Amino acid sequence: MSDPTSTSSSTSWSPSWVPTTRDSKAMWQKGHITYETLWSVFKPGSLLIAFEDSHPWLLRCLRTGYEVYSTANAICHVYGEYTDFDGKTFGTTTQEFQIRQKVSLNGLHPGAINKLPIFPLVYWTKDEKKIDDLKRRLQVRGEAFKETDGVALRYYHGMAKYLREPPRSYYHASLEGSAGLWIGFTVHVASSPYIIPLLRRH
């Protein structure tokens, strides 16, 4: 594994962080990282992995950035590029992931890299055969997704989930660390005798 301190990742933090990153070399080689040195493992151009409902998702790292809304709400933004299908053609688009210090890492203490919402693929596995197998599975999944083009959903009977996130500009210190209030509600689907139960977060 290459030394993450050699990446060209840009950061708005003080250059004094560089020695701190180098001092943490033994830590990240064991798969641990601190919030302050997160940027050092996200090398632009490297492959990242995230999981959506336990399904793997590969992206290529574009950049990272830090933002502090308050002393209790620091966020590291990770931007990745991936292949998508708009119903007509395949192309690339971007996705932003937020690594919240208070949620993903315990303050200034180190945490496991592979427990982050998104992390470099090399921290998932170093086995090239396993990585190649994952890429083949994702390619097959993408081709299957393309075959659904033109298919319309007439009705649905079962559970569904809807998560409404608060706007990024909103923050209230008293809600820091709150799990949120979940209110159940139902939605009637047009031209369907079924009712879809949903969960909404406020």
- The pLDDT score that the predictor gives to residue 42 is 94
- The pLDDT score that the predictor gives to residue 114 is 95
Average pLDDT value for residue range 34-55: 91
CA distance 174 to 170: 12
Encode 134-181 in three state secondary structure: HHHHHHHHHHHHHCCCCCCCCCCCCCCCCCCCCCCCCCCHHHCCCCCC
The pLDDT tens digits for 90-111 are 889 999 999 988 888 876 788 9
Q: State which of 12-26, 72-86, 178-192 shows the largest mean pLDDT.
A: 72-86
CA distance 131 to 165: 32
Q: Is the pLDDT of residue 12 over 60?
A: no
- The pLDDT score that the predictor gives to residue 179 is 54
Q: Is the pLDDT of residue 25 over 60?
A: yes
For residues 120 and 46, is the Cβ–Cβ distance under 8 A? yes
- The pLDDT score that the predictor gives to residue 68 is 79
- The pLDDT score that the predictor gives to residue 104 is 87
